[in-house]
């Protein structure tokens, strides 16, 4: 995958940029930047792509991304059709590792933060009480002046590092290998698949959209993402199926077909491989846990 190298403007001498983004839908394509990023989703849902990780996102999620880690928040199709101008909202903080000066993180008390920054190269999904406490901290952060932001960001990072209530998103062997070109081609593949995963998609047709033959496209995709294109498709389809199972409006066969699986038996097998549960048991566990 060759994401766009997003060059963030020089926003302040303190190397911290904090903003509340309120838009119809999140519009940045698959991209990366030199800065670390802390994202708090306030409103909207969809699919998040972080390195070789793919999953649904929803309000309340807080994620820490390391420097140059490619990512993409793609809202569900309803947000593109909606008349609401502020359907998607997030608080986003981007910062350089030297946000408090070149020497600050080298002092012994800051070693947990240095370790956290290293962990963030795989993407960190923040959970539990840490997530709850950070929601207020991140909201208040936007009202701080530049000098207060140094203290505030240090507090946020120390909180995450100390409580260690997080999970990794990217696989342990993930290493992003990319250049900053070809973004339009790759972004088009993502958007095309997300718009059409419920249909019978041909790898040959998708490869042709990239002006590549099938074998070359499959090698390219696996090399750059760590996933085969088939696994990528299954991740997208299974993520949609999980969402439909929790809604409870369709039976399992209908959900399989609505998610792009023409064979319910294959769907059941792939779903159990992903979640450890059959679709029926997954639905029972989350809708009727007792």
**pLDDT tens per residue, range 265-282:** 999 999 999 889 999 998
Burial environment of residue 277 by CB neighbours within 10 A (0 to 12, 13 to 18, 19 or more): middle
Q: Is it the case that residue 139 has pLDDT exceeding 90?
A: yes
Give the Cα separation of 6 and 18 in Å (integer): 16
Q: For 126, list phi and psi in degrees, rounded to 5.
A: -90, 130
pLDDT band at 172 (very low <50, low <70, confident <90, very high): confident
Q: Is it the case that residue 223 has pLDDT exceeding 60?
A: yes
Give the Cα separation of 207 and 230 in Å (integer): 13
2 versus 245: the higher-pLDDT residue is 245
One-letter-per-residue 3-state SS of 39-105: EEEEECCEEEEECCEEEEECCCCEEEECCCCCEEEEECHHHHHCCCCCCEEEEEEEECCCCCCCCHH
Domain ranges of the chain: 4-168, 197-287
pLDDT band at 83 (very low <50, low <70, confident <90, very high): confident
Is residue 51 within 8 A of residue 59, CB to CB? The reply is: no
Provide the pairing of β-strand 166-168 with 71-75: unpaired
Question: What is the model's pLDDT at position 192?
Answer: 86
Residue written as token pair 């029926």: 280
The end-to-end CA distance of the chain, in Å, is 43
Q: Is it the case that residue 131 has pLDDT exceeding 90?
A: yes
CATH number of the domain at 4-168, out of 2.60.120.280, 3.40.50.720, 2.60.40.1180, 3.40.190.10? Answer: 2.60.120.280
Task: For the domain covering 197-287, report its CATH number.
Answer: 1.10.10.60
Cα Rg for the chain, rounded, in angstroms?
A: 20
What's the mean pLDDT in 175-203?
A: 76
**Residue-wise pLDDT tens digits, 99-122:** 988 888 889 999 999 999 999 999
Q: For 280, list phi and psi in degrees, rounded to 5.
A: -65, -45
Question: What is the model's pLDDT at position 86?
Answer: 87
The closest alpha carbon to 65, from 97, 42, 109, 88, belongs to 97
Task: Please give the structure tokens belonging to residue 240.
Answer: 């949609």
Question: What is the model's pLDDT at position 261?
Answer: 95
Q: Is it the case that residue 14 has pLDDT exceeding 60?
A: no
Q: What is the mean pLDDT of the chain?
A: 88
Question: What is the model's pLDDT at position 116?
Answer: 95
């Amino acid at each position: 995958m060759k994401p766009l190298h997003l060059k963030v403007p020089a926003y302040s001498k303190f190397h911290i940029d904090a903003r509340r983004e309120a838009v119809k839908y999140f519009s940045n394509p698959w991209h990366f930047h030199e800065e670390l990023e802390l994202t708090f989703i306030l409103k909207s849902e969809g699919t998040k792509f972080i390195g070789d990780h793919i999953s649904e996102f929803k309000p309340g999620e807080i994620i820490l991304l390391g420097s140059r880690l490619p990512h993409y928040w793609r809202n569900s199709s309803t947000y593109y059709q909606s008349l609401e101008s502020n359907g998607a909202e997030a608080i986003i903080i981007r910062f350089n590792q030297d946000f408090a000066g070149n020497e600050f993180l080298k002092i012994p008390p800051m070693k947990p933060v240095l370790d956290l920054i290293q962990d963030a190269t795989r993407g960190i999904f923040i959970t539990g009480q840490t997530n709850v406490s950070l929601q207020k901290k991140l909201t208040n952060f936007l009202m701080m002046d530049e000098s207060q932001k140094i203290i505030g960001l240090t507090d946020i990072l120390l909180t995450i590092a100390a409580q260690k209530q997080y999970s990794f998103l990217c696989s342990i062997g993930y290493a992003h290998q990319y250049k900053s070109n070809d973004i339009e081609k790759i972004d088009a593949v993502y958007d095309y698949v997300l718009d059409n995963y419920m249909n019978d998609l041909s790898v040959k047709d998708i490869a042709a959209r990239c002006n590549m033959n099938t074998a070359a496209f499959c090698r390219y995709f696996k090399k750059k993402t760590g996933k085969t294109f088939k696994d990528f498709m299954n991740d997208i389809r299974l993520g949609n199926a999980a969402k439909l199972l929790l809604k409870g409006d369709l039976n399992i066969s209908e959900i399989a077909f609505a998610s792009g699986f023409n064979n319910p038996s294959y769907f059941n097998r792939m779903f159990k491989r992903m979640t450890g549960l059959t679709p029926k048991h997954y639905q029972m566990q989350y809708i009727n846990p007792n």
